[in-house]
Structure formats: structure tokens, C-alpha cells
Amino acid sequence: MPCYSYAGLRPVIHPEAFVHPMAILIGDAVVGPGCYVGPGASMRGDFGRVELGAGANLQDNCVMHSYPGRIARVAENGHVGHAAVLHGCEVGRGALIGIGAVIMDNASIGEEALVAAMSFVKEGMQVPPRVLVAGIPARVMRELTAVELQWKARGVLQYQELARRSLQELRECEPLRAPEPDRPVRSAGSVPLAELREANRRR
């Protein structure tokens, strides 16, 4: 993978973490055990440290960056959706950052909170634990339900399993000319939140 030392600091990747070969790590970037870092993700530790805690995931095309003297951190079991941008902020344990959300300098996302897709969390915002945050600029909408917390936890476990399997199974290959007649469709894992809500409603 593209991995670069800068100002005498080299990225750190725990042997039980999976970092996709197309992710980019620069300087003071730290990836903890059980983490998943997707293709196209960028962890730029050239000004300040960028850090993923144990079991966290940073999905495709996400950006983590900071400024001098500040650590941009995703804590244990944090879940960062595709194309999110984290700049000089703290994401608490088990929090979820939705697809395309932007979290600005000195913002803090509380434990198990959920930032909705495409939200803009302004500089210095302090988000309480276990709430839904949404909007441009983002504001606290309400507390999360038990179903939403359950769904969020399932997603984290799925990415931790993906990290383990990717370490064992992901290999570069030549593509086939056509799909096999009996090509399976994977169906295990978490489902969209709306489907989980509906399933619980029918019980």
C-alpha cells in the first residue's frame, strides 16, 4: 500500500488490522488492532496525528487529517461511512459517522452517537452520547432508539469480520470474462436500518 514516512515519523499498522492496498497512510498515522481501512481512504499524519482505535473502520474514500498539536481520533469500535471527512476531531467509542458527513476541527462526537449521512458538524460542536445528529449545520435531533443502537453495533461487527476475512482471503486477481452460471449472491450481514425497523415492527 502507499505508505510514507514524514518528518521522521512512519505510519503504524497493527498486524491484526486490515488496510487496503489502495489506501494511503502518511507520517503520524496509527491503525489499531482489528481495524478496517477501505480502498481510497487517506490518513494524513503530516501536521497532526490521525488514529484509529481497536476495531474501528474507515471506509472507502474517507479522509482523516488534523492540524499541528491536535490528534484526529476515531475511538474503539468507531464506524466511519464512505467518503466521510474527519478533520482535527474526536469520534467516540462506538459512534457512527454516516456516508459523506464532514466533522470539523475540535468537534467531539459522543459515545455511540450517530451522525446522519451528508451532515456537516461545525467546528467545536460537542455531541452527547447516543443521540442522532443531522443537518447542515448539524444539530441534535433526538436520542437513539434501542433498535438503532442494535443496528449500529451489528454494522461494526460486520466490518470487524471483514477485516479478519480480508487479511486471510483478499488477493489481487485477473477478472473473469463472464460470471459463472452458479455465482452466489452474499446475503449474510447487517441490513438497512429501515428494514430492521420494519422487521421489529412485525414481531
pTM exceeds cut of 0.85: yes
Q: Which of 75, 121, 76, 66 is nearest to 98 (CA)?
A: 121
Sheet with 36-37: list strands edge to edge: 18-19, 36-37, 57-58, 79-80, 96-97, 114-115, 131-135, 138-143
Q: What is the CATH topology of the domain spanning 3-143?
A: UDP N-Acetylglucosamine Acyltransferase; domain 1 (2.160.10)
Return the residue matching grid coordinates 414481531.
203
Neighbour tally for 196: CB within 10 Å? 16
Task: Give the per-residue pLDDT at 37.
Answer: 99
> Which band of pLDDT confidence, cut at 50, 70 and 90, is reported for residue 199?
low
Model confidence over 55-64: pLDDT tens digits? Answer: 999 999 999 9
- One-letter amino acid identity for 198? E
Mean pLDDT along residues 70-87: 98
- Mean pLDDT lowest for which of 82-86, 135-139, 184-188? 184-188
> Which band of pLDDT confidence, cut at 50, 70 and 90, is reported for residue 185?
confident
Q: Are 112 and 128 in contact (CB under 8 A)?
A: no
- Judged by DSSP in three states, 126 sits in strand
Model confidence over 87-111: pLDDT tens digits? Answer: 999 999 999 999 999 999 999 999 9
Can you give the residue ranges of every domain in the chain? 3-143
